Amino acid sequence: MNHTGDLHIEEEVKSFFDITHNRHSGEELSHMLSETLRDKESVLRRQQLLKGFVTNDNVLKDYSHYRFDLSEIVDFLETIFIGSITQARLRRQLRFSQKNREQKRGKLILMVRLFYAIKNSYLKKLDLAVFPRSYAAELGALKKFLDDFDLERYEEAFLKNKFRISHIVSLIMLVMEKTAKGEMAQFWKRWFVFEAYLSISRCIIDRALVFPEFDDEHFELESVYHPAIKNPVKNNFAAFHPVTLLTGPNMSGKSTFLKAVSICVYLGHAGLAVPASKAVMPFFDSMSVAINLTDSIVSGYSHFMSEVITLKNVVEDATNGKRCFAVFDELFRGTNIEDALEISTITIAGLNRFPNCIFLISTHLHQLQAMEEVRQNKISVCSIECVLNDNVPVFSYRLREGWNDLRLGRILFAREGLNEALAR
């Protein structure tokens, strides 16, 4: 069971990786980011694939086809008639319609130049040995497709200004043949996937992202940050117990930190590199991130019931032996403080009995410090730093060990003069 919608991957994370050159490649990137992979082998295979792109950066670093209107080429090739037209009939049509001839000539020249650049500037120069065998075969299929076009012949004709009707006819017949066989659609699919991977690898290099190591006994992140934040504060985090409690006043950055850690776990399980300088984590069977949970009008659940159902699903997974990663932001804030304290105590103590899982829980319930598990250091406690400077809160967004007892509400309330104003 994965519940990761609160991470807003498409809205907040995709742009971090997206330097794709067209809408189609952007859609492939969205697909890659839309879900985690099913097993560790699949994750490691995608890691190796992306490392192949990174290794080939000397070939790909200047990749561009801004000179070509790729969408125009794709749309044109999709409109070419597939049927029983003969070369002779096509030749007659082109001879008797200059407008038709020049239109097709212009689009085909764009296609030839694009295909020629793809093949000779990039595909021919790639070191295929560094890619997984299955993806090296995909790259080989891309090159084979382009080889069939005899691009050098047409490129030479264009450069010598000798791109004749015969060239137009032979190219259209070849395009029709490959379109009818489905090879043209398959080529574009492969190429848009290539561009999506290239976009991700470019981000990995430019932002110095790291691929996580998978270790069932350790969870450690160094210099982790939320990728959507400009000039972010980077933090180190390690989980020493199944449950880690996170405290700190409102506005201190607890939710952002929880998202940053969760995004690293999510991206790592999608086979991507993560925004950190080091990442070690178990391979989780289940992920659940409950940040900013809201009432569900459709289902009829209140905020509190949404929390309860989410928690129930996580507990069922953990009980069934799944290795779970779960985040609960301000657990049970949807109920009164007495109930919240009682059931939070039960929840935290219960979750801490699943040694193969990692649970991050933020809370404002300072009374939880009295829990036996907290006093005996059987549960990790950390906080987001916030201090008062002349009664003004100063947020550093730094993660610190231990509890943060600062209660900003009453301080801000008094600072705004509401004690006096309401006492009149």
- The model's pLDDT over 157-168, given as tens digits with 9 standing for 90+, comes to 888 888 899 999
Examine the domain organization and report whether 160 and 245 are in the same domain.
no
For position 304, what pLDDT does the model report? 81
User: How far is the C-alpha of 1 from the C-alpha of 224, rounded, in Å?
Assistant: 25
The last residue of a domain, from among 181, 206, 231:
206
Examine the domain organization and report whether 297 and 375 are in the same domain.
yes
The three-class DSSP label of residue 325 is strand
For position 297, what pLDDT does the model report? 45
Examine the domain organization and report whether 347 and 294 are in the same domain.
yes
For residue 340, the domain's CATH number is: 3.40.50.300
Q: Residue 71 falls within a domain, yes or no?
A: yes
Strands laid side by side in the 324-328 sheet:
2-3, 286-290, 324-328, 358-362, 243-247, 380-389, 392-401
87 φ/ψ angles, rounded to the nearest 5 degrees? -60, -40
User: How far is the C-alpha of 368 from the C-alpha of 362, rounded, in Å?
Assistant: 11
Examine the domain organization and report whether 239 and 197 are in the same domain.
no
Examine the domain organization and report whether 130 and 183 are in the same domain.
yes
- Domain with 323 in it: 213-423
Examine the domain organization and report whether 288 and 407 are in the same domain.
yes
Q: Residue 28 falls within a domain, yes or no?
A: no
The tens digit of pLDDT for each residue in 167-186 reads 999 999 999 999 989 999 99
The last residue of a domain, from among 206, 239, 270:
206
For position 83, what pLDDT does the model report? 64
The three-class DSSP label of residue 3 is strand
The last residue of a domain, from among 161, 182, 206:
206
Indicate the number of domains in the chain. 2
Q: Residue 166 falls within a domain, yes or no?
A: yes
38 backbone φψ class: left, alpha, beta (φ>0; ψ -120 to 50):
alpha
Examine the domain organization and report whether 191 and 238 are in the same domain.
no
- The whole-number mean pLDDT for each consecutive block of 10 residues of the chain, a chain of 424 residues, reads 89 94 92 95 98 97 71 81 75 86 88 91 96 97 95 89 90 90 94 96 97 97 95 95 91 91 98 98 96 55 80 96 95 86 95 97 91 93 85 85 78 74 75
For position 148, what pLDDT does the model report? 94
Q: Residue 248 falls within a domain, yes or no?
A: yes
Examine the domain organization and report whether 201 and 237 are in the same domain.
no
Examine the domain organization and report whether 299 and 200 are in the same domain.
no
Examine the domain organization and report whether 232 and 185 are in the same domain.
no
